[in-house]
């Protein structure tokens, strides 16, 4: 049987995925400032009491004097021990030019051997002329691909939809 599909897109996509995997974000090395901050932020998020829901939380100073959680309102935490997933959901403003929009953001980490989480398609979400970045590490590196890996690194998933949250909760 001869294959007649000569569409180059069928060959390009696997090659692009292979290349993207080569440039995937790695966790900080043990002993580094980033590694220590990753541990601190996980402890901080896990310590958030249910009474914090609906309130602003303390600003957290990350490794290189980067403040995170500024203007963040804590919504909920989703801890899925079976799949080794930790998801902390916040509402936050997004400043784009003169516009200020409010979006949902999730801070996520998946322990080794846990079930990966898909990154929501944020291209359909817009605030003025802003193009949102789907996910990035705390060190500021963009995630390449469509899911957060089970490597224990904290990732920030931007522009989370209610549909995505419901799918995560249903899986639990």
Average pLDDT, rounded, for the chain? 76
- Asked whether 134 and 158 are in contact (CB, 8 A), the reply is yes
- Judge whether 77 lies within some domain: yes
Give the number of domains in the chain: 1
Q: Is residue 15 part of a domain?
A: no
Q: Which residues of 132-168 are buried (b: 16+ CB within 10 A; e: fewer)?
A: bebbebbbeeebbbeebbbbbbbbbbbbbeeebbeeb
Domain that holds residue 54: 27-171
Assigned token pair, 142: 């963009």
The yes-or-no verdict on residue 149 having pLDDT over 70 is yes
The verdict on residue 19 lying in a domain is no
Asked whether residue 17 is assigned to any structural domain, the reply reads no
**Is residue 121 pLDDT above 70, yes or no?**
no
Residue 10: inside a domain: no
Q: 89, 109, 106: which is closest to 28 by C-alpha?
A: 109
pTM here is 0.74
Residue 132 is assigned to a structural domain of this protein = yes
- On whether residue 109 sits in a domain, the answer given is yes
Looking at residue 98, what is its pLDDT? 62
Per-residue model confidence (pLDDT) at position 46 = 95
Kindly report, residue by residue over 53-100, the tens digit of the pLDDT.
Answer: 999 998 887 776 778 888 899 999 999 999 999 999 999 876 666 666
Residue 70 within a domain: yes
């Amino acid at each position: 049987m001869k294959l007649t599909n000569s569409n180059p897109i069928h060959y390009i996509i696997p090659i692009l995925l292979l290349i993207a995997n080569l440039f995937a974000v790695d966790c900080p090395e043990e002993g580094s400032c980033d590694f220590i901050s990753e541990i601190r932020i996980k402890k901080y998020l896990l310590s958030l009491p249910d009474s914090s829901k609906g309130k602003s939380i303390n600003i957290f100073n990350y490794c290189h004097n980067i403040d995170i959680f500024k203007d963040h309102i804590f919504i909920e935490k989703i801890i899925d021990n079976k799949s080794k997933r930790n998801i902390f959901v916040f509402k936050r403003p997004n400043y784009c030019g003169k516009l200020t929009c409010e979006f949902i953001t999730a801070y996520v980490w998946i322990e080794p051997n846990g079930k990966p989480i898909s990154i929501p398609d944020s291209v359909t979400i817009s605030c003025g002329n802003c193009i949102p970045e789907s996910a990035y590490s705390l060190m500021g590196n963009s995630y390449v691909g469509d899911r957060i890996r089970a490597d224990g690194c904290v990732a920030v998933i931007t522009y989370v939809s209610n549909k995505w949250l419901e799918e995560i909760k249903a899986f639990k």
